[in-house]
Amino acid sequence: MAKLVAPHGGKGLTCCLLEGAELDAEKKKAEGLKKITISAREEGDLIMMGIGGFSPLTGFMTKADWKGVCDDFLMADGTFWPIPVTLSSDKADADAINVGDEIALAAASGEIMATMKVTEKFEMTEADKTYECEKVYMGEGTPTAEEFWKIAKDDHPGVQMVMNQKNVSLAGPVKVLTEGEYPVKYPGVYMRPAESRKIFEDKGWSEVAALQLRNPMHRSHEYLCKIAVEVCDGVYIHSLVGNLKPGDIPADTRVKCIDALVKNYFVDANVVQGGYPLDMRYAGPREGLLHATFRQNYGCSRMIIGRDHAGVGDFYGMFEAQTIFDKIPTPSDEGKALLCTPLKIDWTFYCYKCDGMASLRTCPHGKEDRVLLSGTMLRKGLSEGTEIPDHFGREEVLVILREYYASLTEKVEIKTHKAAMGS
């Protein structure tokens, strides 16, 4: 009988989203609580705790959790976790809150997303934020702090996110009241971990590979998926439907591209498409670990990790997101360990001499014979109206993307980097 990998943390899916009479009562109570406005990143983290995507997390992290995750990939109770999940507040608001208070967490729109019981308040100084950035966001592409900070404040959106956080963090368990716009905006795509698990179980799958997508699906992504289908029971094409950096392509357009590819180039029975509500952190290797951690909750036992996974610019080594899996701790309690393992795949491309998709492990030919595939270069070419090379993307996808770029009234400059250029 098919058996999926267990959710992370050893406690099953820990879902903080309320329903029915309990939800109605908590919404009414929330109206009378002190309100804290949260960031878009915190909103996504909150929804993931609501639906069980961040199991075993049931609230925002304490100072001990934050420090343990930064230093050792471990929360205070010894559970593996790769990136801090914290909630920030300005000092004036924090001074008006006592430990033990219940507060309401509101989106920028004013919608109350959750309630939270504050169990700890801790300061996040500039030195603390700098420490988090160097531990979580600094990679082999900028091996020294001096090199990192020369460009990080201007060019790394994840670093900017951390440094712009308010100066006090609030920790404590949450009760989530809504999933925001996602169920309505992305029907049939956005799904909870319990829903993806049900689909996989109904298909009889045990070994499921996840493909992380934040760019439109080009030929390299297609090839990665097909490799996974060959070695696993099926593949979960799992797109980020939260916020991206300027110049990235929005989720509704990317979903159309995936639909076109699955319809025309995959055996439908072996592929499931889904979406999740986080913002990208662009943390490269650490984010690759986070992707594997919450994909385990969605029922995936393998995480496809290719070239420059979740990277930005030249901050990370080309395959640093693969090698980091070999360096993380393995808690003795299996439930607290990361069980979703990487499916490591080399740099892939179309080779004219091979007459098909290939990788550095399979193709003996030179760079001049290859169409080097990169989401950055695809976005740059489409944005600037230049011709897209043959075999870079499927025509059905390029039609959708050209229509999207033609509809834009304002263009964003797409910066290239070594990985995108094939250097």
Q: Closest Cα partner for 217 from 254, 187, 178?
A: 254
What pLDDT is stored for residue 408 in this prediction?
Answer: 82
Architecture of domain 189-421: 3-Layer(aba) Sandwich (3.40)
Tell how far CA 46 is from the center of its chain. 14
Residues classed as catalytic? 214-215
Percent of the chain with pLDDT over 70: 95
Task: Please count the other Cβ atoms lying within 10 Å of the Cβ belonging to residue 351.
Answer: 20
Between 380 and 108, where is the model more confident?
108
Confidence category of residue 386, pLDDT binned at 50, 70, 90: confident
Over the stretch 253-270, which tens digit does the pLDDT of each residue have? 888 999 999 999 999 999
Residue 418 has pLDDT above 70, yes or no: no
pLDDT band at residue 420 using 50, 70 and 90 as cut-offs:
very low
SS3 (DSSP) at 255: helix
For residue 249, what are the CA distances in angstroms to 32, 180, 219, 375? 39, 21, 17, 10
Average pLDDT over residues 281-287: 97
Residue 379 has pLDDT above 90, yes or no: no
Q: Per-residue pLDDT averaged across 384-389, rounded?
A: 79
- Pick the closest to residue 225 from 240, 241, 213 (CA basis): 213
Closest CA relative to residue 175, chosen from 26, 67, 69: 26
6 or 412: which leads in pLDDT: 6
pLDDT score for 251: 86
Share of the chain above pLDDT 90, in %: 80
Quote the strand ranges of 163-270, DSSP E: 168-176, 208-213, 234-240
What integer pLDDT is reported at residue 297 of this predicted model? 98
User: Residue 173 phi/psi, 5° resolution?
Assistant: -75, 150
Q: Can you give the pLDDT at residue 80?
A: 98
- Looking at the chain, the domain(s) classified CATH 3.40.50.620 span 189-421
Pick from 277, 279, 195: which is nearest to 236 by CA? 195
- Segments of the chain assigned to CATH 3.10.400.10: 20-124+165-178
pLDDT digits (tens, 9 = 90+) for 161-212: 999 999 999 999 999 999 999 999 999 999 999 999 999 999 999 999 999 9
Report long-range pairs for 155-161 (Cβ below 8 Å, ≥24 apart).
Answer: 155/312, 155/313, 155/415, 156/282, 156/312, 156/313, 156/315, 157/245, 157/280, 157/282, 157/312, 158/280, 158/281, 158/282, 158/283, 158/312, 159/133, 161/39, 161/41, 161/279, 161/281
Greater confidence (421 vs 287) lies with: 287
Q: What is the mean pLDDT of the chain?
A: 93
Q: Quickly state the pLDDT bin for 53 (edges 50, 70, 90).
A: very high
Backbone angles phi, psi at 343, to 5 degrees: -100, 95
Look at the domain 20-124+165-178 and name its fold.
Answer: Sulfate adenylyltransferase (3.10.400)
Greatest CA separation for the chain: 68
**Amino acid present at 63:** K
